[in-house]
Chains A and B, each alone.
Chain A
Amino acid sequence: MQHVSPVREPLVTGGKTYHDITQDVCRQVEAKPNIRWMAALAVALFFLGVFLYSVYRTLWYGIGEWGLNKTVGWAWDITNFVWWVGIGHAGTLISAVLLLFRQKWRSSINRAAEAMTIFAVICAAMFPVLHMGRPWQAYWVFPLQNTFGSLWANFNSPLLWDVFAISTYFSVSLVFWYIGLIPDFATIRDRAKGPIAKVAYSMLSMNWKGSAKAWSRYETVSLILAGVSTPLVLSVHTIVSMDFATSVVPGWHTTIFPPYFVAGAIFSGFAMVLTLMLITRVVFKLEDYITLEHIALMNKIMMITGSIVGVAYITEFFIAWYSQVEFEQYAFINRATGPYWWAYASMMTCNVITPQLVWFRKVRYSIPMTFVLSIIVNIGMWFERFVIIVTSLHRDYLPSSWAMFSPSIIDIGIYVGTMGLFFTLFLLFAKFFPVINMAEVKTILKYGVDNGPTYTGHDPHHAPTHHHTTPGVPASAPITYTKHD
């Protein structure tokens, strides 16, 4: 007898069997690319072209192609950098932090979220590298001997910490993601028909056979990677925030930056995960895996982190007043009422007010509302970084040096272009890689569908509570399932 638990919602709906999961996830990997995917890729490639052109202009003519001036020496580039890195954080949060907290619902979204992390970090890395002006000497950021032309790197500089943080974050995320992909590559390999697919997925699956011992080690490795990734993800945005917090610019020199930035990162990251998932689940018909329950849960995390960000905004204002530092006070009054008031107003509306709509159950469970909300949050978080960076710099110390910033067409081209880069990578991932972690989803298939574990361990006195009465009936069968002979 199977019965659905009255307490726990099943994580996978539609009465799927293990084989159904394989079929549903492998479908788009094995099928010919469809027209919608090709159209989307064409748009993404167009914007990738915009990116390449803007990069060419930046490299050929120099940083003068950007809208920067002597006062505002950091603007869209660092805004976009922080925005993209922040987006990446949700992937690691889902794959590592939620794994440690045993949040089983993460299983069906972690693969795509981690992919998002990796692609977002790639996009983020473009900005500091291009801002160097001479990116072909980017290796100078690493500690190399003096004979290379520079001194040893300065380990007291938060910008150098950033180099270590971002490169560690990228490579660790990549390894974590790849190890998770191996069993699924093996599944695709064992189903592959074409000779190229067979060899390609064999190579990717690294000789994986799914033996009990390999799984045991795999789980150990996953757990430890999650354990080290959790502080890592917090450290990365902490260090990003230190780029600002350790300076003496009014509006930047605040101790709440690390937690405030980390919350903001998770906030914007979950918004991006929602945007991507809402599209992916429809395009690839994965509604039974990424259910309304998932969307509601992600909405809740978005709302909580959004509220933390809201509290941080208010705290900043309070401390500016409480500190009695004139310059600090001016920085904040200028943010809200100065020439960039519209950016501040957009930030406040998008990040503090709109996420509060999630308190309503109807909004939480509504797909169109969630989609609009996720876009609004992404816009708001971009404005947050713009406000922090540009409004603090444009009127920093001497009024004679005050200036305004407006982006050049190349600034806009690079920013829009990184979205092209991001979506090109994401679309290729969605076509050739399994977007859902099949192995992991199979482990949670029985969650909430309580037909009881019939296996109770070694103890001979501990009799199994109830036996598997109808052998051959799949464990995940719906309640109305009757066995056909």
Chain B
Amino acid sequence: MTKRFALGVFDDEDVLLHAIENVRAAGVKIYDVFTPFPIHGIDDALGIERSRLPIAAFFYGLCGLSFALWMQIYMLGFDWPMIIGGKPHISLPAFIPVSFELTVLFTCHGMAITFFIITSMYPKPKVQVMDVRSTDDKFVMAIELKDDTSNLGQLTQLLRDNGASEVNEKEMTKN
């Protein structure tokens, strides 16, 4: 499937933020914005909701903690109790370090894996990008062009009026 996009290329992130506001105000739907670095305030301008990753992170941590406690209590308390220095089999203070480490381990890896999955990140030998300069010094606003091409001129004008240094057209093949 092939999709066509109008790409507004901007040189400065503050100009881009104004442009996002104005383009959205003009009733144009922005497909996505590609930038070389995270921009403060772009989430609000684009209306991106706050990520729920922290909630996921909390639950991964909870899983790690429960697993660690279960593991230590089961192994040393029930499965094969050993007398170590006359201490109780289940000595919770001694279990704190391992419980803490596993909490961190599960949080970190769980969150990283979730991040990769929801952002569809995986090793890929060839990556299609809208504009190769968007990982260098350009800020690229992509607007999907539906079947009617009549509004391209208007759109170009809108982007240019809002500070785009160039407006390009790009076809992307979805695979």
Is A214 in contact with B111, judged by CB distance below 8 angstroms? no
Is A442 in contact with B98, judged by CB distance below 8 angstroms? no
Q: Is A454 an interface residue (CB 8 A)?
A: yes
A158 — nearest CB in chain B belongs to which residue?
A: B97
B46 partner residues in chain A, CB cutoff 8 A: 212
Is B137 in contact with A18, judged by CB distance below 8 angstroms? yes
Is B11 in contact with A474, judged by CB distance below 8 angstroms? yes
Q: Is B75 an interface residue (CB 8 A)?
A: yes
Q: Is A393 an interface residue (CB 8 A)?
A: no
Is B11 in contact with A453, judged by CB distance below 8 angstroms? no
A209-B127, A454-B18 are contacts. A440–B37 as well, Cβ < 8 Å?
Answer: yes
B51 partner residues in chain A, CB cutoff 8 A: 216-217, 220
Docked Cα-Cα span, A280 to B47, in Å, equals 41
Q: Is A357 an interface residue (CB 8 A)?
A: no
B126 — nearest CB in chain A belongs to which residue?
A: A202
Is B38 in contact with A228, judged by CB distance below 8 angstroms? no
Is B91 in contact with A156, judged by CB distance below 8 angstroms? yes
Docked Cα-Cα span, A475 to B137, in Å, equals 11
B47 CB, min distance to chain A CBs, angstroms: 10
Is B102 in contact with A156, judged by CB distance below 8 angstroms? no
A208 partner residues in chain B, CB cutoff 8 A: 121, 127
B36 partner residues in chain A, CB cutoff 8 A: 18, 22, 183, 187, 210, 438-439, 442
Tell me which residues from 215 to 245 in chain A have a Cβ below 8 Å from any Cβ of chain B. 215-221, 224-225, 228-229, 231-232, 235, 239, 242
In the complex, per-residue mask of B33-47: 1 if CB is within 8 Å of any chain A CB, else 0? 111111111111110
B132 CB, min distance to chain A CBs, angstroms: 4
A349 partner residues in chain B, CB cutoff 8 A: none
- Say which residue of B14, B111, B121, B135 sits within 8 Å of A475 (CB atoms): B14
A206 partner residues in chain B, CB cutoff 8 A: 116, 121-124
In the complex, per-residue mask of A139-153: 1 if CB is within 8 Å of any chain B CB, else 0? 000010010000111
In the complex, per-residue mask of A413-449: 1 if CB is within 8 Å of any chain B CB, else 0? 0000000000000000000000000111011000000
Docked Cα-Cα span, A17 to B122, in Å, equals 31
Docked Cα-Cα span, A206 to B126, in Å, equals 10
Is B15 in contact with A187, judged by CB distance below 8 angstroms? no
- Say which residue of A172, A183, A204, A228 sits within 8 Å of B37 (CB atoms): A183
- Secondary structure call for the A interface: helix
In the complex, per-residue mask of B66-81: 1 if CB is within 8 Å of any chain A CB, else 0? 0000011001100110
- Say which residue of B34, B42, B75, B134 sits within 8 Å of A155 (CB atoms): B75
A4 partner residues in chain B, CB cutoff 8 A: none
Q: Is B153 an interface residue (CB 8 A)?
A: no
Docked Cα-Cα span, A151 to B135, in Å, equals 53
Docked Cα-Cα span, A209 to B51, in Å, equals 18
Q: Is B104 an interface residue (CB 8 A)?
A: yes
Docked Cα-Cα span, A155 to B84, in Å, equals 10
B2 CB, min distance to chain A CBs, angstroms: 18
A183 partner residues in chain B, CB cutoff 8 A: 36-37, 135
Most buried by B among A146, A156, A218, A438: A156
Docked Cα-Cα span, A232 to B107, in Å, equals 12
Which of A112-120, A125-133, A159-167, A283-291 binds B? A159-167
B115 partner residues in chain A, CB cutoff 8 A: 179, 217-218, 221
A158 partner residues in chain B, CB cutoff 8 A: 97
A296 CB, min distance to chain B CBs, angstroms: 26
A27 CB, min distance to chain B CBs, angstroms: 14
Tell me which residues from 126 to 149 in chain B have a Cβ below 8 Å from any Cβ of chain A. 126-127, 129-130, 132-137
Docked Cα-Cα span, A216 to B50, in Å, equals 8
B80 partner residues in chain A, CB cutoff 8 A: 146, 151-152
A444 CB, min distance to chain B CBs, angstroms: 9
Docked Cα-Cα span, A124 to B97, in Å, equals 20
Q: Is A175 an interface residue (CB 8 A)?
A: yes
Is A164 in contact with B12, judged by CB distance below 8 angstroms? no
B-contacting residues of A (Cβ < 8 Å)? Answer: 17-19, 22, 143, 146, 151-156, 158, 160-161, 164-165, 168, 171-172, 175-176, 179, 182-183, 186-187, 189-191, 198-199, 202-221, 224-225, 228-229, 231-232, 235, 239, 242, 438-440, 442-443, 453-455, 457-458, 468, 471-472, 474-475
Among all A-B residue pairs, the 5 with the closest Cβ atoms: A18-B137, A455-B17, A161-B97, A190-B132, A215-B38
Enumerate 28 A-B pairs (CB-CB under 8 Å) in ascending A order: A18-B137, A155-B98, A165-B101, A171-B108, A171-B109, A175-B109, A179-B112, A183-B37, A190-B129, A190-B136, A191-B132, A207-B121, A207-B127, A210-B135, A212-B32, A214-B119, A218-B115, A220-B51, A220-B53, A221-B111, A224-B111, A228-B57, A229-B108, A232-B104, A440-B37, A453-B14, A455-B14, A457-B44
Q: Could you list 7 further interchain pairs (A-B, Cβ under 8 angstroms) beyond the known A210-B34, A228-B61?
A: A143-B71, A151-B82, A155-B98, A160-B98, A217-B118, A217-B119, A232-B104
